[in-house]
Homo-oligomer: A and B are copies of this chain.
Amino acid sequence: MIKEMGVKAKQALRESVHKTPEEINLALEKMADGLRKNSEEILKANTEDMRLAIESGMNKAMQDRLLLTPERIESMAQGLEATATLPSPLNKVLWEREIHEGLVAKKISVPLGVIGFIYESRPNVSAEAGGLCFKAGNSVILKGGKEAFHSNLAIVTSMRESLKESGFPQDLIQLVKDNSRKVTRELMVAIQWVDVLIPRGGPGLIQSVLENAKVPVIETGIGNCHIYIDADADLEKAVPILVNAKMQRPSVCNAVETLLIHKDVAKELLPKAREALEGVELRGCDEVLEILPGVKKATEEDYATEFADLILAIKVVNSLEEAIDHIATYGTGHSEAILTENKEYAERFKREVDAAVVYVNASTRFTDGGEFGFGGEIGISTQKLHARGPMGLEELTSNKYILEGSGHARK
């Protein structure tokens, strides 16, 4: 099954290699209109998914992720229109040199090729990821969560119709219709047809892809993020940053999970922090418990956990080194912040902390393609190969060298 889809995906890619950015943008607009036109069908399909979800006892938070409404479909359509307005990442000359007289080498951006995109319950990701991969000239094989299958199928069917109406091969966007584990595994090892796998979802999904994939993977999104409040921090700024990083949207990967605080300011700051973090469960080391009686003792496990919830672990540290060591031990290389007015310490933190995004005096919540001005975002990479940090359209491309000569042979 994956083989068949892979062959079609590669074929579609070849057929569309001469399409212009304008043609791609028109197709994206057509897709947006298509979703609006087919919204009744899509909502009906979603109702079926919701019925099955409720039957199976899915929790309310998950149900909310799965639910589509006319507003959410309109927002998907607007997302595709916004993608159409972004500059094309293709055919940029990234480097150019005349390497011998009359022999010019150019490095240009080209599509990655066939992308396998594996995601979980939110059906709007089908439109978002499909649109971004298409904009960057790729062919995409979407493997959504089985709980969203009917919704995904309705969305992808609509997008494929729009592709056809726009003169593109439909198989540039395909949905895996078999939700068995076996087929997902097939996708992960399909090195002959799939150039890259991008998983987007919880730690379980990411782990499973890392375990099983033979296709190169861009790892995304696990964020055990820290804020270190240094002895030289401006405490007026510290509490609002902490509240923003923990409470604004606790379920996302750029939310803070552990507060590290220098011993010299712990007594002054922690009571204020507790007050401002009302509704957040705190778990601290012994020094924290002394200052904030009644707080639960933090375990080793707590420091290693991405809570993705209104829970914050706190540890008092004796030095910048101890804070950096803690982050090296427990961090996932996502987003790490220091709050300090000490320029030397800020410099050391920036250099020594090994993470996709390192902050000085700002909330970790800015780690986001939209905030960075990338337009769309396909995920946040926490690995070091190819892309690190928020991934936009550029990260969905590769490169090709073109050398044009007039009979050049190597000396």
A residues contacting B by CB (< 8 A) are: 14, 17-18, 97, 99, 103, 105, 107, 112-113, 191, 195-196, 210-211, 214, 216-218, 234, 236-237, 240-241, 243-245, 248, 328, 346, 348, 350-352, 354-363, 365-367, 371-373, 383-386, 388-389, 398-410
Contacts and interface: CB of A to CB of B under 8 A. Distances in A.
Contacts of A112: 384-385
A407 B18 contact: no
B410 A240 contact: no
Contacts of A105: 366, 372
A407 B234 contact: yes
Given A17-B352, A359-B405, A389-B399, 11 more contacts: A97-B372, A107-B389, A113-B384, A191-B210, A216-B384, A241-B407, A243-B409, A357-B400, A357-B402, A358-B401, A358-B403
Nearest to A212: B214
A194 B401 CA distance: 29
A152 B253 CA distance: 44
A17 B399 contact: no
25 contacts: A17-B352, A99-B372, A105-B366, A112-B384, A112-B385, A113-B354, A216-B217, A237-B407, A241-B407, A241-B409, A350-B402, A354-B400, A356-B401, A357-B400, A357-B402, A359-B402, A359-B403, A360-B402, A361-B407, A361-B408, A363-B408, A363-B410, A384-B398, A388-B400, A388-B401
Contacts of A196: 384-385
Copies in the complex: 2
Given A99-B373, A402-B358, A386 B389 contact: no
A17 B358 CA distance: 15
Given A357-B401, A403-B357, A404-B360, A409 B244 contact: yes
A349 to B, nearest CB: 10
Contacts of A217: 216
B388 A399 contact: yes
Contacts of A398: 384-385, 388
Contact of A410 (B107, B371, B401, B410): B371
A16 B365 CA distance: 30
Nearest to A347: B18
A91 B58 CA distance: 48
Contacts of A385: 112, 195-196, 216, 218, 385-386, 398
- Would you list the 10 A-B pairs with minimal beta carbon distance, nearest first? A362-B405, A237-B407, A244-B409, A384-B398, A365-B410, A386-B386, A362-B408, A385-B386, A357-B401, A360-B404
A89 to B, nearest CB: 13
Nearest to A355: B400
Contacts of A218: 385
Given A196-B385, A358-B403, A373 B14 contact: no
A362 B402 CA distance: 11
Contacts of A362: 103, 403-405, 407-409
Nearest to A408: B362
Contact of A366 (B107, B348, B389, B403): B403
Nearest to A237: B407
Contacts of A216: 216-217, 383-385
Contacts of A367: 401
Contacts of A383: 195, 216
Contacts of A359: 402-405
A85 B357 CA distance: 31
Given A371-B99, A389-B401, A401-B358, A365 B241 contact: no
A405 B361 contact: yes
B358 A400 contact: yes
A243 B191 CA distance: 34
A210 B408 CA distance: 35
Given A358-B403, A400-B357, A409 B365 contact: yes
